Amino acid sequence: DTGVSQDPRHKITKRGQNVTFRCDPISEHNRLYWYRQTLGQGPEFLTYFQNEAQLEKSRLLSDRFSAERPKGSFSTLEIQRTEQGDSAMYLCASFWTGRTEAFFGQGTRLTVV
Amino acid sequence: DQQVKQNSPSLSVQEGRISILNCDYTNSMFDYFLWYKKYPAEGPTFLISISSIKDKNEDGRFTVFLNKSAKHLSLHIVPSQPGDSAVYFCAALDTAGGGADGLTFGKGTHLIIQP
């Protein structure tokens, strides 16, 4: 399967715990995005990487959130001290510069209890 | 401040008939528009797109129309099939801005195809 993959698919955590999600983009895609989707809303932009450089961060991304993309390949999104409001679907998307169609992974559903 | 608006949260259409999903945008810098389809517990899947230099793009049963002066686009599905039942998201992109903000999505329209 050469699509975007995300791990885990589901995560249940207690409030205050740290969680980390992983995204493996399509191998030739140099741009990687993280989005968050809550019920009844469309995906909302969180952050963006071009190769290994994090070029843009949304105001939605509080200082409890950090993302990395070492070596410009896979990316991780970490949430520290999770809160109930962090419960959402976290989506990763990748595409190649010069193209406009983003390809999404299946998402990680986070539930903070 | 919603820059991409899908004002119909849901739409019910009979199988075989035409489904028309609407989308409005406010940011005149958007110059590329995409429609994504999403099933529950899955990520969005790209469906069809249109550049602002065109007013129509067709791909099989799917056609997207763009009215730049009205800042309005629509997705037509004909004939509608049961497998089309899903949430459809309209998304917009400012390509001149380098795509740094990624796609701006509407809230989605839940399309239900009735047998």
Tally the residues of chain B.
115
Counting one residue from A and one from B, how many pairs have CB atoms under 8 Å apart?
65
pLDDT above 70 for B65: yes
Q: How confident is the model at residue B53 (pLDDT cuts 50, 70, 90)?
A: very high
Residue B101 at interface with chain A, using a CB cutoff of 8 Å? yes
Number of Cβ within 10 Å of residue A59's Cβ equals 7
Rg (CA), chain A: 13
Given phi > 0 = left and psi -120 to 50 = alpha, else beta, which region is B99? left
Q: Chain A residues with CB inside 8 Å of B102's CB?
A: 33, 35, 45, 48, 93, 102
B6-49 confidence digits (pLDDT tens) = 999 999 999 999 999 999 999 999 999 999 999 988 899 999 99
Q: What is the pLDDT of residue B32?
A: 93
Strands (E), A1-113: 5-7, 10-13, 19-24, 31-37, 44-50, 53-57, 65-68, 75-79, 88-95, 103-104, 108-112
Q: What is the pLDDT of residue B46?
A: 92
**Tokens 């994090």 identify what position?**
A54
Q: What is the pLDDT of residue B107?
A: 96
Best to test chain A binding among B35, B38, B39, B95 (most A CBs inside 10 Å): B38
Cβ–Cβ gap B45/A104 under 8 Å: yes
What residues contact A92, with CB distance under 8 A and at least 6 apart? Answer: A4, A6, A21, A23, A25, A32, A33, A34, A35, A75, A77, A104, A105, A107
- Of B60, B66, B83, B81, nearest in space to B18 by CA: B81
Q: What is the pLDDT of residue A59?
A: 83
Burial class (CB in 10 A: 0-12, 13-18, 19+), A99: exposed
Residue A109 at interface with chain B, using a CB cutoff of 8 Å? yes
Q: What is the pLDDT of residue B99?
A: 64
Q: What is the pLDDT of residue A21?
A: 97
Q: Chain A residues with CB inside 8 Å of B64's CB?
A: none
pLDDT above 90 for A27: no
Q: What is the pLDDT of residue A2?
A: 66
> Residues 67..86 of A with a Cβ closer than 8 Å to B: which?
none
The Cα A41–Cα A52 span in angstroms is: 29
Residue B93 at interface with chain A, using a CB cutoff of 8 Å? yes
Best to test chain B binding among A46, A90, A104, A109 (most B CBs inside 10 Å): A104
Q: Is residue A3 a contact partner of residue A61, using CB atoms and an 8 Å limit?
A: no
- Selecting from A42, A44, A106 the residue whose C-beta is nearest the C-beta of B43 gives A106
Q: What is the DSSP letter of B97?
A: G
Q: Is residue B93 a contact partner of residue B5, using CB atoms and an 8 Å limit?
A: no
Q: What is the pLDDT of residue B98?
A: 65
Q: Chain B residues with CB inside 8 Å of A103's CB?
A: 46
Q: Is residue A6 a contact partner of residue A35, using CB atoms and an 8 Å limit?
A: no
